[in-house]
């Protein structure tokens, strides 16, 4: 296959450049821009002041007053990603406003038209996605300082104080820890092709250590994100309009599409990094429960197209798992299993987080009898619109099945 050739023949630098991957940052956007040139700076000033505008109930009025802007003046990938991030924040705020019953079902054309045009250009849906709020929503306080929570901030906030910062930055730091393993993928696949077990063991060992580091970063969520604020405030602004009882038809993008459209809210399932390691290790989520496999597949449509293409490229490459199985090498199997165990461990931990941040707060909600209230089923959904516990349990169980056991 030609794709196979790209993976095995091209230099890692060429591969990463082609698929918009940074050797250190992985799928995250390196050094995102913070400002848009006039007249697009109007979008930034609204997005920068969302909590204040929502609190004063002035957000929708501000958006309604915006002029329809052509996106032709937005040249360059980073500028377009910043605009998509800002418009995503504004859209979520416009729809959900103060997080109560007052939900808008129509996004006005002055924001809908440029947002949908830009989304088409970037190959992303017109809703706030993980590639926006996590991968392109960060900066360093001291540009020469380290990539640590203390030295980082987010570009835009939702109501709920530091909850946005905690949730998005911890997600980014988990992503970055795991992503540092991407740089060994080309050499790892060459090692499989050349039957070089020494190089393969080193690469697998390194991948496992990066996944363990990702687990460590994940543990920081308890320090920076309050469960009640996440559930009652931030979760609302991250909710999409697919499988959502408050917007059963979806959202109408005025002036762009005739009918309302349904899109899922941002979720960790939209991260390319863990799907990348599933593919690399030969963990076939499609062999698990159908609903989970379908959701993961659907979430690829919410990833930047270059990252989606990279996952397809990996799938066309040589099989690490089959090579390890074919070898009578206990150490090699152990190194492979260490990577699978690390993936299982991350998914188990994610289940605990969902229990703490979604399931428990949902069970503590006062019982209300109104039909308009969120149903208990709705409350147990993750921001992507699935039942988060069922989905994660299925993915974890499937991952466990791929441990290599000596018979």
Tell me the per-residue pLDDT of 90-132, one tens digit each, with 9 for 90 and over.
999 999 999 999 999 999 999 999 999 999 999 999 999 999 9
Tell me the per-residue pLDDT of 339-354, one tens digit each, with 9 for 90 and over.
999 999 999 999 999 9
pLDDT > 90? residue 81: yes
Per-residue confidence (pLDDT) for residue 7, from 0 to 100: 75
- Which of 128, 20, 130 minimizes the C-alpha distance to 78? 20
H helical segments located in 34-127: 41-48, 50-55, 59-64, 77-96, 109-122
Burial grade of 252 (CB within 10 A; 0-12, 13-18, 19 or more): buried
Phi and psi of 265, rounded to 5°?
Answer: -70, 165
> Architecture of 3-364+374-401 per CATH?
Up-down Bundle (1.20)
Token pair 């570009």 in the structure block, residue: 155
Q: Where are the domains of the chain?
A: 3-364+374-401
CB of 210 closer than 8 Å to CB of 182: no
pLDDT > 90? residue 281: yes
Mean pLDDT, range 85-89, rounded to an integer: 98
Tell me the per-residue pLDDT of 355-371, one tens digit each, with 9 for 90 and over.
999 999 999 887 654 44
Query: Is 407 labeled as ligand-binding?
Result: no
Q: Which residues contact 146 (CB under 8 A, 6 or more apart)?
A: none
pLDDT > 80? residue 407: no
Per-residue confidence (pLDDT) for residue 376, from 0 to 100: 52
Burial grade of 76 (CB within 10 A; 0-12, 13-18, 19 or more): exposed
Mean pLDDT, range 213-241, rounded to an integer: 97
Min mean pLDDT across 67-81, 277-291, 295-309, 382-396 is at 382-396
- Which of 125, 124, 120, 133 minimizes the C-alpha distance to 86? 133
Q: How far apart are CA 245 and CA 251, in angstroms?
A: 12
Helix (H, G, I), strand (E, B) or coil at 394: helix
pLDDT > 90? residue 387: no
Q: What region does 161 belong to: left with phi over 0, alpha with psi -120 to 50, or beta?
A: left
pLDDT > 70? residue 306: yes
pLDDT > 90? residue 377: no
Per-residue confidence (pLDDT) for residue 385, from 0 to 100: 47
- Which of 287, 273, 279, 288 minimizes the C-alpha distance to 319? 279
Tell me the per-residue pLDDT of 167-224, one tens digit each, with 9 for 90 and over.
999 999 999 999 999 999 999 999 999 999 999 999 999 999 999 999 999 999 999 9
């Amino acid at each position: 296959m030609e794709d196979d050739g790209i993976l095995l023949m091209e230099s890692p630098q060429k591969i990463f450049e082609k698929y918009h991957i940074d050797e250190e940052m992985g799928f995250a956007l390196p050094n995102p821009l913070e400002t848009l040139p006039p007249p697009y700076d109007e979008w930034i000033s609204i997005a920068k002041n969302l909590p204040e505008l929502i609190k004063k109930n002035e957000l929708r009025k501000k958006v309604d007053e915006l002029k329809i802007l052509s996106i032709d003046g937005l040249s360059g990938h980073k500028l377009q990603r910043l605009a998509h991030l800002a418009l995503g924040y504004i859209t979520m705020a416009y729809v959900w406003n103060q997080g109560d019953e007052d939900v808008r079902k129509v996004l006005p054309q002055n924001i809908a038209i440029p947002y949908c045009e830009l989304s088409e250009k970037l190959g992303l849906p017109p809703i706030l996605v993980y590639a926006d709020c996590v991968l392109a929503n960060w900066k360093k306080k001291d540009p020469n300082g380290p990539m640590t929570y203390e030295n980082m901030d987010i570009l835009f906030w939702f109501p709920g104080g530091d909850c946005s910062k905690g949730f998005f930055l911890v997600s980014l730091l988990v992503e970055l820890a795991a992503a540092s393993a991407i740089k060994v993928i080309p050499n790892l696949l060459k090692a499989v092709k050349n039957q070089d077990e020494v190089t393969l063991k080193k690469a697998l060992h390194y991948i496992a250590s990066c996944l363990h580091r990702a687990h460590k970063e994940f543990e920081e969520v308890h320090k920076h994100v309050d469960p009640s604020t996440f559930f009652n405030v931030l979760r609302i602004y991250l909710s999409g309009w697919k499988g959502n009882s408050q917007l059963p038809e979806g959202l109408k993008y005025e002036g762009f599409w005739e009918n309302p459209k349904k899109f899922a809210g941002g979720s960790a399932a939209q991260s390319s990094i863990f799907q990348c390691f599933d593919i690399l290790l030969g963990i076939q989520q499609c062999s698990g429960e159908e609903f989970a496999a379908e959701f993961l597949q659907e979430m690829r449509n919410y990833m930047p197209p270059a990252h989606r293409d990279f996952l397809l490229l990996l799938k066309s490459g040589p099989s690490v798992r089959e090579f390890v199985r074919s070898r009578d090498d206990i150490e090699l199997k152990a190194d492979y299993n260490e990577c699978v165990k690390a993936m299982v461990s991350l998914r188990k931990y994610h289940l605990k987080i969902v229990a703490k941040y979604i399931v428990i707060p949902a069970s503590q909600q006062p019982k209300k009898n109104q039909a308009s209230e969120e149903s208990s089923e709705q409350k147990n959904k993750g921001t992507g619109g699935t039942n988060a516990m069922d989905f994660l349990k299925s993915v974890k169980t499937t991952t466990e099945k791929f441990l290599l056991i000596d018979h």
